[in-house]
Amino acid sequence: MKISSSALLLSVALLLSACSGFFPGSYRIDIPQGNLVTEEKVNEVTTGMNRRQVQRILGSPLLVDTFNQNRWDYFYSVDTKKGTNIEYHITIVFKDEVVKEIIKNDD
């Protein structure tokens, strides 16, 4: 009986350790979340575009202000050649259903 208990305990320990991601050199895939917004896509958006045109270029906004439906917020990042990641925030303000202002903020 002692051998089967030890075998069971060893099996459970091995199975649970397989679920761990703490092993050095273990591969983890990057999973992008949300829309892929690039600097090139942001530069395509100009004043005078309607909501549908902006949404076609940038996708659905990450944040839509509940109290101000005329403001769309997007966050995007740029990978530099040095391996650093720079994050940006862009706000698009609409007036009369067209882009009135594009605000780019460096975070």
Q: How many CB atoms lie within 10 A of CB 90?
A: 21
Can you point out the beta strands (E) in the chain?
A: 63-64, 71-79, 85-95, 98-106
Which of 14-23, 46-55, 82-91 reaches the highest mean pLDDT? 46-55
Full-model pTM: 0.61
Output the pLDDT for position 24: 62
CATH topology of domain 2-106: Beta-lactamase Inhibitory Protein; Chain:B, domain 1 (3.30.1450)
Lowest mean pLDDT among 33-42, 44-53, 92-101: 33-42
Indicate the average pLDDT of the chain.
Answer: 81
How much is the pLDDT for 98?
97
Residue 18 pLDDT level (bands cut at 50, 70, 90): low
Q: Rounded mean pLDDT of 36-57?
A: 92
Write the CA distances from 71 to 2, 43, 60, integer angstroms: 68, 18, 12
Per the model's pLDDT, the better-predicted residue between 103 and 30 turns out to be: 103
